[in-house]
Amino acid sequence: QQRQKAIEDEKNYLKAKGIFFGLVFSDSLICIKVIESVKEMEEEGRMMHHCVGGYHNKVNSLILSATIDGKRIETIEVSLKTLKVVQSRGVCNSNTEYHDRIIRLVEDNTELIRQRMNAA
């Protein structure tokens, strides 16, 4: 049953958020990408010690991962209604020294999210 639910969750996540898959943007240091599977989201939650692992069911949210040299820095939730950052959290829900820079980077690239939504 758990395996069947996991398969169903992945299918639903792909259907709901697939239009955003492959979306990546960065500045000279930070790379931000869309989390592309339930499994990847659960891994993000486990590695970052916060509750994002269950966010794949959030209909009006897009979850992104910010990294530096491949190391997770913060996880970002963006509202698909307002295209504003709802929250951005580092390990154990902390803010990192890059917090404001990450939010600015996401906000500077919300047009890329809007384009994906309009193309769907």
pLDDT recorded at residue 36: 96
Secondary structure E strands in the chain: 24-26, 31-34, 61-68, 71-79, 85-89
Evaluate if residue 109 carries a pLDDT over 80. yes
pLDDT recorded at residue 5: 85
pLDDT recorded at residue 27: 96
Region 3-22: what's the mean pLDDT? 91
pLDDT recorded at residue 33: 98
Evaluate if residue 120 carries a pLDDT over 80. no
Which residues lie closer than 8 Å to 22 by C-beta, 6 or more apart?
34, 36
pLDDT tens digit string along 20-74? 999 999 999 999 999 999 999 999 999 999 888 778 888 899 999 999 999 999 9
In the structure encoding, which two tokens stand for residue 31, read together? Answer: 């790379």
Evaluate if residue 10 carries a pLDDT over 80. yes
Percent of the chain with pLDDT over 90: 81
Mean pLDDT of the chain: 93
- Walk me through the domains of the chain, giving residue ranges and CATH numbers: 2-119 (3.40.630)
Global model pTM greater than 0.85: yes
